[in-house]
Amino acid sequence: MRGLVIASLFAFAPSLVSAADAPLITPPPVQPTGYVAIPGAAVQPDKTHIYRTIFDATKIAELPNKVMPAIEMLAIEQNALLDVSGVPAKNVNFAIVFHGEAIDAALNDATYKARHGVSNPNLAALAEVKKKGAEVFVCGQQMRSDGITPAMLGPDVTIASDALIVLMTYQNRGYALLSF
């Protein structure tokens, strides 16, 4: 069985090599790998499609000086659609909501540094994704539970009543749910 798996991997090697050799497109500020256009690949970005996605941010980064996974993924997809594929900004409707442990991404630099000993690496990324049109929410219920006041938040964050209400509302509006 193991030999079959290895043989199967080699069967796909030519397509992996050609994708790896493709020129790297300028990445967003939070993701060094960026997005690589794959000519001829199935399901290409469509300039006429309206992309609606709500990113459910609950997972923290491996280290406190790293950007959280949901922010990275949002930035990569903004880069893929807006910068590389030329999808008009009016057709890219992204939102992100922080709750659980991931709420720390929304903290201002002083509060984050007091909790983690380093500057908040998420703030510049949040400013960038918001500048490109993403809505950025933090769960008000989680804030209350964790003793976080509005003054402790970064400048690009909007307080929502409840993360789950944000998720339900956006999904009812036709947004795809991506959880990180």
Distance between CA atoms of 45 and 67, rounded to whole angstroms?
Answer: 25
The pair of structure tokens assigned to 44 is 């290409």
Q: Superfamily assignment of 46-179 in CATH?
A: DsrEFH-like (3.40.1260.10)
Distance between CA atoms of 102 and 68, rounded to whole angstroms?
Answer: 8
Residues 34-59 have pLDDT tens digits of 788 889 999 999 999 999 999 999 99
Rounded (5°) CA angle 10-11-17:
70
pTM of the model: 0.81
Domain limits of the chain?
A: 46-179
Among 39, 43, 13, 41, residue whose Cα is nearest residue 25: 39
The whole-number average pLDDT for the span 151-165 is 98
Q: What is each CA distance from 6 to 19, 21, 79, in whole angstroms? A: 20, 22, 33
